[in-house]
Structure 1
Amino acid sequence: MSQLKKGQSKPLNVTQESRQRFFVGLGWDPHDDISLFDLAKAMICGTDLEHDLDLACYAYDELGRSICRVCAVSGFHTDQTGKIYHSGDNVEGIGDGDDEQISVELKDLDEAIHSLIFVASIKSGHVFNEIEHAVIRIVDAYSNHTLLSHSFSQCEAALSQDCYVFIQVERAADTDKGWVLKLIDEYCPTVTDGDKRAQYLKKYLSA
C-alpha cells in the first residue's frame, strides 16, 4: 500500500475487471468503556453515549456543480443510477473491519460525474480524538487491496473537529488514463445540511 502526502495525487489503479468497483470504508470501535465523565457530558452537552460516525460521498460535474450525495441518511443510500451506493448506517461501530462502506462502480458510471469527494463525520456530538481505532481507507474491491488509508490520530485538529475530508477521486485530464486519486486530508467543522456541505466541499475540488 503506497501512501500519499497531503495534496498529492496518483492514478487510481482499480482492477480492470467486472464492474471496476472500489469502495471507501470507515471503521471504528464501539464505546464500551463509558465513564462518569461520559455520562455527565451526555447529560450536559446532549452528546450520545455511543460513537456514531457517518461516511458520505459527494459527486460533482466538470464545472464543479453538485450532482448528488450518497450517505447513511435514509433516501440517500444510492445515486440515481445505482452505481454509487452505501452499505447502511452503523450507529455504534459494532463489528470487525469497516462499519460503513460506499462503493463506486466505475464501469458505466454516469459520464456527467467528474469528481467524487469522500467525507467522514461524527453524528453523536464527539470529536475525533475521542473515537477508538477509527480508520478510513479506499480499496480495490476486486483484489481487496487497500490503495490508501488514514488513521485518525491525536493531532491538534482531531482534538476539536468532527468532520474529516479524506480524498477526491476525479477523471484524469486525459480520459484514456481513467481516474486519479488525490489525498485531501483536511479536518473541518461539520456542516450538517447536505446541500450546504456539498457547497462547502467545492473548495477542495482540483482546479
Structure 2
Amino acid sequence: MAPRIPKGQSAPLNVTQEGRQRVFVGLGWDPNESTSIKDKTLSKLGLKNIHHDLDLSCYLYDQNKRYINHVSVEKGHEVDQTGQIYHSGDNVKGVGEGDDEQISVELKNLDPAITSIIFKASIKSGHTFDEVAAPEIRLVDAYSGRIFLELSLQDGNESNRPVFVFAALLKATDGGWNILHIGKFIDVPTDVHWAETLKSYI
C-alpha cells in the first residue's frame, strides 16, 4: 500500500470544489479473532482488553501553533466549536466493513482561525499496532472518493507502539490547503499533553 505523498513531504490538497468541500480521515481494523491465553489472563487482571479498541482524533491549531480544540470520541469533543469538523462515533471492536471510525472536515466554512489540523490514531485497549488485525488509515475526498493518502499501520519495524501520527492539513497562503505526510509511530509520552506533543509536527 504505497503512499501517494512521500513521508515528511507535503502536497496540495486538491479537494473537489463542490458542496462543503468535505474530506475525511478513515481508520479501519478487523476484530480480534485470535485471542491468546496471555491476553485473556491480562484481561482478567484488568491490564489489557481482549478487543482491539482504536481511536481516531485530530487537533486544531492557529497560525501561531496555539491549540484551539480537538475532535475525538471523548464526551464533549465529538464536534468542533463550529460544527465543521466531526467524529463518526466510537467503535470499540473494529466490527464492520471499511472505515470503523471517521473524522470529517468541511473546508468551505471552516473557522478561519484554524490553520493546522493534525490527525492521530491511538489504541486504548493496551495493545500496539503490530498486534491489531489489518489496521489502516486514509485521507479521502468525500465528494469524489479520491484517496489522497492511505497507509497500513503495520509497515516497517516501528508498529510495536500504540500511537500513530498520520498527517496534517496545513492552510496555504493562497487560502487553499496542503497535506503533510507525517507517518510517525510513537509511544505515549510521560504526563502526556497531546496538544503540546503534536504541535511539534507542524
TM-score category of the 2 structures, normalised to the smaller one: over 0.9
CA gap of 1:99–1:61, structure 2 versus 1, over 3 A, is same
CA gap of 1:85–1:192, structure 2 versus 1, over 3 A, is farther
Matched, 1:109 2:110: yes
Q: Residues 39 and 50 of structure 2 are in contact (CA less than 8 Å); yes or no, is this contact kept in structure 1?
A: yes
For residue 81 of structure 1, give the secondary structure of its aligned residue in structure 2: coil
The corresponding residue for 1:98 is 99
CA gap of 1:2–1:39, structure 2 versus 1, over 3 A, is closer
1:190 corresponds, among 188, 191, 196, to 188
Deviation of 1:192 after TM superposition, in Å, equals 9.2
Q: Residues 115 and 170 of structure 1 are in contact (CA less than 8 Å); yes or no, is this contact kept in structure 2?
A: yes
For residue 195 of structure 2, give the secondary structure of its aligned residue in structure 1: helix
For residue 88 of structure 1, give the secondary structure of its aligned residue in structure 2: coil
Q: Residues 3 and 150 of structure 2 are in contact (CA less than 8 Å); yes or no, is this contact kept in structure 1?
A: no
Q: Residues 138 and 147 of structure 1 are in contact (CA less than 8 Å); yes or no, is this contact kept in structure 2?
A: yes
For residue 31 of structure 2, give the secondary structure of its aligned residue in structure 1: coil
Deviation of 1:40 after TM superposition, in Å, equals 2.4
For residue 116 of structure 1, give the secondary structure of its aligned residue in structure 2: strand
For residue 200 of structure 2, give the secondary structure of its aligned residue in structure 1: helix
Q: Percent identity?
A: 50
Q: State the distance in 2 between where 1:51 and 1:179 align.
A: 33
CA gap of 1:88–1:193, structure 2 versus 1, over 3 A, is farther
The corresponding residue for 1:164 is 164
Superposed counterparts of 1:54-133, under 5 Å: 54-133=55-134
For residue 143 of structure 2, give the secondary structure of its aligned residue in structure 1: coil
TM-score with structure 2 length normalisation?
A: 0.94
Deviation of 1:7 after TM superposition, in Å, equals 0.7
Q: State the distance in 1 between where 2:189 and 2:105 align.
A: 24
Q: Residues 29 and 94 of structure 1 are in contact (CA less than 8 Å); yes or no, is this contact kept in structure 2?
A: yes
Matched, 1:199 2:196: yes
The corresponding residue for 2:174 is 174
TM-score with structure 1 length normalisation?
A: 0.92
Residue 166 of structure 1 aligns to which amino acid in structure 2?
F
Q: State the distance in 2 between where 1:169 and 1:31 align.
A: 32
For residue 204 of structure 1, give the secondary structure of its aligned residue in structure 2: coil
Q: State the distance in 2 between where 1:99 and 1:64 align.
A: 30
Moved more, 44-53 or 61-70: 44-53
Cα RMSD after superposing both structures: 1.7
Q: Residues 121 and 190 of structure 1 are in contact (CA less than 8 Å); yes or no, is this contact kept in structure 2?
A: no
Deviation of 1:155 after TM superposition, in Å, equals 2.4
Deviation of 1:95 after TM superposition, in Å, equals 0.3
Deviation of 1:2 after TM superposition, in Å, equals 6.1
How many equivalent residue pairs?
201
For residue 158 of structure 1, give the secondary structure of its aligned residue in structure 2: coil
Q: State the distance in 2 between where 1:45 and 1:152 align.
A: 26
